[in-house]
Amino acid sequence: MKNLMLVGFMLLYSAAFGQRTIKEEYKLKFDDVLNLIEEKYVEHPDYTALVDEAIIGMVKELDPHSEYMTAEEYQKMSEPLTGNFEGIGIQFNITKDTITVVSPISGGPSERLGIRSGDKIVVIEDTVVAGIGITNRDVIDKLRGDKGTKVRIKILRRKVKDLIDYTIERDKIPIFSLDASYMLTEDIGYVKLNRFAQTTMQEFYEALDELEPQGMEHLVLDLRGNSGGYLNTAIQLSDEFLADKELIVYTEGVSNPKRESFATRRGRFEKGKLVVLIDEGSASASEIVAGAIQDHDRGLIIGRRSFGKGLVQRPFKLRDGSTLKLTTARYYTPAGRCIQRPYEDGNDEYRKENQRRRDNGEFFSMDSVHFNEEDKYLTDNKRIVYGGGGILPDIFIPLDTSESSDFLTELLSNGLFYQYINEYVDENREELNSKYPDYESFEKGFDPNDEFMDKFLEYAKHELKHNKDDKLNKDDVEVSVNGEEVEIENMEGIKKEANKDMDKMIEEGLATSGHIIKTRLRALLARTLWQTEAFYRVFNAEDHAVKKAIESIDDKTFRKLKLSYN
């Protein structure tokens, strides 16, 4: 009788109020927990922190790219894509616990006031910031701010006795998505994009406007390391290469019906050979462009398998100003390939993918990449391409480790290339500007000769040995025997042996990595004198993928693969 009454009550409840959904039950459960904490917990908790952590934990269980962000976090995340931030306009490194200006950003307030590379910021708003363990985040927090606000700094400049006082009025600082655009040969242009932002298409058009009058007939588009950005920008860029009404990409999700994006008539580079360079750092928007070009046989893809991010995120503003960046659909290439790599094993395993690829040999051999038969697709000209995660290139370029050495690793990890070049430019600025008034004169005339290299090696050896000695300082070394700490009596002998090992490492490293060390020094010197593009102009002259791109444009590769370019 009781059971009949209960069933009758539930039927009446459902009819009167409607059956609760599973989602509503979970909401009530969450409310129950909050209510219990409010009514029964031993003290007053921080509800903001509680709810934020609960949301973060919940979103973490969805997929690797859905994300919850506070209002401040979302603003900082958006800055590189909106194309500007507000601050004083410098690129900096922290060298020997001191903020060192790598270069002022062109057109920014610091450049207008005469701040230059090599300057050391030692005081900000009457607070000494040198030698205190300052971090990159600290520097950004102190120097960024709203347009029109001011910040006072003191700078230490070589050969200037006293500190130089500056009051800098913050302004909008442009963030460029195009790192370089120049002519590789008489008829091959080169463009490198680092992201797909609001300003990308304007920057790309400006690059074409400069390259086409110089005789550009073919193009190398470098998307290596480009982790993506705005979907619309990727569609717009693809449109510049594809014919009218060709499918660029489509998106689809459980709550989002299939949405297709097609090329229009306005493409500026629909004719001419096109090479797209990709690697394991090319993701999302980069993969949309590469996939569309490959599926329509419009160009040649060179490099290594791309990252494999094919999930579409849409930001949703929450009532307190925070944002939920929620995955709402998947990307698919024109042939129907899903770009997204699997993530069923969890976010932590997902993020280890590149290390697994390296361990499995994929960075070094195309044969190490394995796909299932169901991942095969056909391009317009019936070439076989593969899905299952990422874009597989038409021509594979292995990761080159032939010039790697322990010495090169030490130089990179200790930031010694940057440190030395900053000091070298600071010491020789007038001579360098006089001898090399433009990049062309530098390219023809500057060579890291024996004197230059000897000074660098002397500097590097001093810094590395100093760092080793610091680590071996007996006050910092704990040695125990049977649980009891003991003194190290022969620390000087240990240091001498360590220095012998250092000398051997440097000697062997020079034999293996001498060429790449010289190239990196030339490239960084060029960047310090003429901004980022100059770095790539030096480095690309030695780059295997760029060389292969030029070779493939000049030989019969496009005809052999039936790629369209006329």
The model's pLDDT over 55-74, given as tens digits with 9 standing for 90+, comes to 999 998 899 999 999 888 88
Residues 310 and 372 in one domain: yes
Residues 6+ apart with CB under 8 A from 59: 66, 67, 68, 324, 326
Residue 510 lies in a domain: yes
pLDDT digit string (tens) for 491-513?
A: 555 556 656 778 889 889 999 99
User: Is 306 a known active-site residue?
Assistant: no
Question: Is-contact 521 424, C-beta < 8 A?
Answer: no
Q: Which residue has the higher pLDDT, 548 or 140?
A: 548
d(CA 80, CA 498): 44
Residues 167 and 183 in one domain: no
Does pLDDT of 223 surpass 60? yes
User: Is 465 a known active-site residue?
Assistant: no
Task: Give the mean pLDDT of 515-541.
Answer: 92
Q: Say what the pLDDT of residue 511 is.
A: 93
d(CA 454, CA 506): 12
d(CA 308, CA 316): 24
d(CA 87, CA 107): 12
Question: Which domain range does residue 126 map to?
Answer: 84-174
Does pLDDT of 13 surpass 70? no
Residue 75 lies in a domain: no
Residues 356 and 454 in one domain: no
Residue 70 lies in a domain: no
Residues 90 and 51 in one domain: no
Domain count, the chain: 4
Residues 220 and 304 in one domain: yes
d(CA 10, CA 488): 79
Does pLDDT of 488 surpass 60? no
Does pLDDT of 473 surpass 70? no
Lowest mean pLDDT among 215-224, 289-298, 464-473: 464-473
Query: Which class for 186: exposed (0-12), middle (13-18), buried (19 or more C-beta within 10 A)?
Result: exposed
Residues 6+ apart with CB under 8 A from 468: 495, 498, 499, 502
Q: Say what the pTM is.
A: 0.83
Residues 6+ apart with CB under 8 A from 4: none
Choosing from 309, 394, 513, 548, the catalytic residue is 309
d(CA 471, CA 461): 15
The enclosing H or E element of 545 equals helix 544-554
Does pLDDT of 256 surpass 80? yes
Token pair belonging to 402: 């032939």
Residues 6+ apart with CB under 8 A from 482: none
Does pLDDT of 3 surpass 50? no
Does pLDDT of 317 surpass 50? yes
- CATH number for the domain spanning 145: value is 2.30.42.10
Residues 152 and 182 in one domain: no
Q: Say what the pLDDT of residue 374 is.
A: 84
Residue 539 lies in a domain: yes
Token pair belonging to 229: 């950005």
d(CA 398, CA 518): 22
Question: Is-contact 345 352, C-beta < 8 A?
Answer: no
Task: Give the mean pLDDT of 437-454.
Answer: 90
Q: Say what the pLDDT of residue 19 is.
A: 58
Residues 447 and 417 in one domain: yes
Strands 127-128 and 120-124: what pairing? antiparallel
Backbone angles phi, psi at 241, to 5 degrees: -110, -20
Residues 375 and 424 in one domain: no
d(CA 140, CA 137): 5
pLDDT digit string (tens) for 283-315?
A: 999 999 999 999 999 999 999 999 999 999 999
Is residue 120 classed as helix, strand or coil in its secondary structure? Answer: strand
Does pLDDT of 383 surpass 70? yes
Q: Say what the pLDDT of residue 95 is.
A: 76
Sign of CA dihedral 513, 517, 523, 524: positive
Residue 5 lies in a domain: no
Residues 352 and 274 in one domain: yes
Last residue of a domain, one of 399, 415, 438: 399
Amino acid at 299: G
Does pLDDT of 202 surpass 90? yes
Q: Say what the pLDDT of residue 423 is.
A: 84
User: Is 309 a known active-site residue?
Assistant: yes
Residue 460 lies in a domain: yes
Please give the full DSSP string across 253-320, using - where no structure is assigned.
Answer: ETTEEEEEEE--TT-S-SSS-EEEEE-TT--THHHHHHHHHHHTT-SEEEES------EEEEEEE-TT
Q: Which residue has the higher pLDDT, 222 or 24?
A: 222
Choosing from 66, 117, 238, 284, the catalytic residue is 284
Task: Give the mean pLDDT of 363-371.
Answer: 85
Task: Give the mean pLDDT of 399-420.
Answer: 88
Residues 165 and 236 in one domain: no
- CATH number for the domain spanning 282: value is 3.90.226.10
Q: Say what the pLDDT of residue 422 is.
A: 82
Token pair belonging to 284: 């999302």
Q: How far is CA 362 from CA 178, 294, 306, 546, in A?
A: 29, 21, 11, 20
Task: Give the mean pLDDT of 337-351.
Answer: 86
Residue 10 lies in a domain: no
Question: Is-contact 306 282, C-beta < 8 A?
Answer: yes
Sign of CA dihedral 445, 446, 449, 452: positive
Residues 275 and 354 in one domain: yes
Does pLDDT of 4 surpass 60? no
Q: How many CB atoms lie within 10 A of CB 364?
A: 16
Length of the chain as a residue count? 566
Does pLDDT of 264 surpass 60? yes
Q: Say what the pLDDT of residue 469 is.
A: 59
Closest C-alpha among 250, 240, 190, 199 to residue 220 = 190
Q: Which residue has the higher pLDDT, 289 or 75?
A: 289
Lowest mean pLDDT among 91-95, 261-265, 310-314: 91-95
Task: Give the confidence band of 566 by pLDDT, cuts at 50, 70, 90.
Answer: confident
Q: How far is CA 522 from CA 164, 201, 261, 418, in A?
A: 30, 30, 43, 11
Residue 7 lies in a domain: no
Choosing from 119, 179, 295, 297, the catalytic residue is 295
Q: How many CB atoms lie within 10 A of CB 389?
A: 23
Is residue 458 classed as helix, strand or coil in its secondary structure? Answer: helix
Does pLDDT of 181 surpass 90? yes
Backbone angles phi, psi at 8, to 5 degrees: -60, -40
Is residue 172 classed as helix, strand or coil in its secondary structure? Answer: strand
Task: Give the confidence band of 124 by pLDDT, cuts at 50, 70, 90.
Answer: very high
Q: Say what the pLDDT of residue 76 is.
A: 76
Does pLDDT of 120 surpass 50? yes
Residues 362 and 434 in one domain: no
Interior/surface letters 218-242, b for 16+ CB within 10 angstroms, e for the rest = bbbbbbbbbbbbbbebbbbbbbbbb
Is residue 488 classed as helix, strand or coil in its secondary structure? Answer: coil
